[in-house]
């Protein structure tokens, strides 16, 4: 399986930013165990990078690889939908009973 790389932009350490990060990590651990890299960028600390990538809202996650890239805005609380929108493998499969994804 290819390694998936994600960059998530947040604005500070707000509750919503933290939830988005936790949800992305849970998605990757479930769908891409051992095959993912996550970079968290605080847009308030690195505004030039956020501007370069044309970030207009946070939190947002960008799938950098494999191509094509995808962007999903929000806290990823609807994990099944987020997995589908990020093009994660097997994201159409039902999540295990008792595990919220």
Give the global pTM: 0.85
> Pick from 52, 45, 38: which is nearest to 7 by CA?
38
Q: How far is CA 93 from CA 29, 36, 40, 80, 87, in A?
A: 15, 19, 27, 9, 13
pLDDT-derived band at 2 (thresholds 50, 70, 90) equals: confident
pLDDT-derived band at 37 (thresholds 50, 70, 90) equals: very high
pLDDT digits 0-9 by tens, 16-25 = 999 999 999 9
CB 72, CB 60: distance < 8 Å: yes
Domains in the chain and their CATH numbers?
Answer: 4-85 (3.40.30.10)
pLDDT digits 0-9 by tens, 78-97 = 989 999 999 998 866 554 43
Is pLDDT above 80 for 29? yes
Task: Identify the pLDDT of residue 96.
Answer: 42
pLDDT, mean over the chain = 89
Task: Identify the pLDDT of residue 92.
Answer: 63
Task: Identify the pLDDT of residue 41.
Answer: 97
């Amino acid at each position: 399986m290819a390694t998936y790389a994600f960059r998530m932009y947040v604005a500070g350490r707000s509750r919503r930013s933290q939830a988005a990060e936790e949800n992305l990590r849970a998605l990757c651990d479930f769908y891409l165990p051992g095959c993912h890299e996550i970079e968290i960028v605080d847009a308030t600390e690195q505004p030039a990078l956020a501007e370069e990538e044309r970030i207009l809202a946070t939190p947002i996650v960008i799938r950098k690889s494999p191509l094509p890239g995808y962007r999903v805005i929000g806290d990823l609380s609807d994990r099944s939908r987020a997995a589908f929108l990020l093009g994660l493998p097997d994201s159409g499969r039902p999540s295990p009973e008792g595990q919220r994804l």
